[in-house]
């Protein structure tokens, strides 16, 4: 049996999982022991055609804009992160406003966060953060982030940290600003191991930490579908550049510059 047919307009889930390991069989396919990732462990999709298992094809409504269809994987990371902790009526700090961080802000807003504070080192991206729902933006290069957020939270700090940067300084600062008893969902990947004051920043705080990898299969995709169909999130401000596939060098340098939101390439 298959849920996809010839001519369907689909988005791909890039994690190809085995379906038979202990994790897959207990509803945890997103951390399958035998995961093979499209573009990492097998041929990627910077190509006109790509072969994937039918089970990895997510059928979109035909009227969905291509710009949104292509970024559902990233949006899935954002949804998975934002749904990890309870954000309802909470003060939320999002560290890192790359495309996934920006989408996380939009999702946090849509699911009822009370206040969203966003940090980054790119003024360009912070501007988009504000447009998609951040209440207060802080440039970690030029602003005193701790001071601004402590003042905004009357010295209390934030209830939830959503860490999207992987930058050690942002991770330390995020946990420093986290309330006692708070929760943190971590998606950003540090380049290397680094020193971290686990005793003071996590244990004595009684903090809860969630590691976020990929998308829950397929719960996250259904949550995404709900958010998109109800138009609870607006992704338009996040897609800032379009390139043809053979302009990939330009696309990658735009992405690396920090002066972009999501960069979309089309065959
Ligand atoms: Zn598996």
Question: Which pLDDT belongs to residue 267?
Answer: 82
How confident is the prediction for the chain on average, in pLDDT? 96
Ligand 1 centroid to Cα of residue 117, in Å, is 37
pLDDT category of residue 1 using cuts at 50, 70 and 90:
confident
| pLDDT exceeds 90 at position 3 | no
Ligand 1 centroid to Cα of residue 74, in Å, is 21
Ligand 1 centroid to Cα of residue 64, in Å, is 31
CA dist 126 and 98 (Å) reads 9
Question: Which pLDDT belongs to residue 248?
Answer: 94
At 178-234, the pLDDT tens digits run 999 999 999 999 999 999 999 999 999 999 999 999 999 999 999 999 999 999 999
* Structure token digits, residue 54: 């039918």
CB distance 99 to 71 below 8 Å:
yes
Question: Which pLDDT belongs to residue 23?
Answer: 98
Q: How is domain 10-75+216-266 classified at the architecture level of CATH?
A: Alpha-Beta Complex (3.90)
* Alpha helices per DSSP H over 43-185: 66-69, 72-82, 99-110, 123-132, 145-152, 168-177
Q: Where are the domains of the chain?
A: 10-75+216-266, 81-211
Question: Which pLDDT belongs to residue 226?
Answer: 96
CB distance 235 to 67 below 8 Å:
yes
Ligand 1 centroid to Cα of residue 171, in Å, is 30
CA dist 89 and 114 (Å) reads 4
CA dist 168 and 152 (Å) reads 23
Average pLDDT value for residue range 152-158: 97
Sign of CA dihedral 86, 87, 93, 94: positive
pLDDT category of residue 83 using cuts at 50, 70 and 90:
very high
CA dist 225 and 204 (Å) reads 39
Angle between helices 219-229 and 72-82 (to 10 degrees): 100
CB atoms within 10 A of CB 257: 11
The conformation of residue 84, written as its DSSP 8-state character, comes to: T
Average pLDDT value for residue range 263-267: 90
Ligand 1 centroid to Cα of residue 47, in Å, is 27
The CATH classification of domain 81-211, taken from the options 3.40.50.800, 3.40.50.300, 3.40.50.720, 1.20.59.10: 3.40.50.720
CA dist 186 and 184 (Å) reads 6
Q: Please give the model's pTM, rounded to 2 decimal places.
A: 0.97
In the structure, ligand 1 is a single-atom ion and the residues with CB under 5 Å from it are 17-18, 21, 24, 32
Closest CA to 77 of 208, 189, 181: 189
DSSP 14-52: -EE--S-STTGGGT-GGG-TT-EEBTTTB--SSSS----
């Amino acid at each position: 049996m298959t849920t996809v047919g010839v001519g369907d307009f689909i988005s791909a889930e890039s994690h190809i999982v085995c379906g038979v390991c202990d994790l897959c069989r207990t509803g945890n396919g997103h951390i399958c022991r035998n995961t093979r990732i499209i573009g990492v462990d097998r041929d990627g999709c910077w190509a006109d055609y790509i072969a994937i298992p039918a089970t990895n094809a997510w059928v979109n409504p035909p009227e969905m804009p291509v710009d949104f269809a292509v970024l559902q994987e990233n949006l899935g990371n954002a949804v998975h992160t934002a749904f990890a902790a309870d954000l309802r009526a909470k003060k939320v700090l999002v560290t890192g406003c790359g495309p996934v961080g920006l989408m996380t802000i939009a999702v946090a807003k849509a699911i009822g966060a009370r206040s969203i504070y966003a940090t980054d080192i790119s003024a360009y991206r912070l501007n988009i953060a504000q447009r998609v729902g951040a209440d207060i933006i802080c440039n970690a290069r030029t602003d005193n982030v701790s001071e601004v957020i402590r003042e905004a939270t009357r010295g209390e700090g934030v209830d939830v940290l959503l860490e999207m940067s992987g930058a050690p300084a942002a991770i330390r600062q995020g946990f420093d600003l986290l309330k006692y008893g708070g929760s943190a969902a971590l998606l950003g990947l540090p380049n290397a191991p680094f020193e971290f004051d686990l005793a003071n920043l996590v244990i004595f705080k009684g903090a809860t930490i969630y590691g976020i990898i990929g998308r829950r299969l397929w719960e996250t995709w259904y949550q995404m579908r709900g958010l998109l169909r109800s138009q609870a999130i607006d992704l338009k401000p996040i897609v800032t550049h379009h390139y043809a596939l053979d302009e990939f060098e330009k696309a990658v340098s735009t992405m690396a510059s920090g002066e972009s939101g999501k960069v979309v390439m089309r065959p």
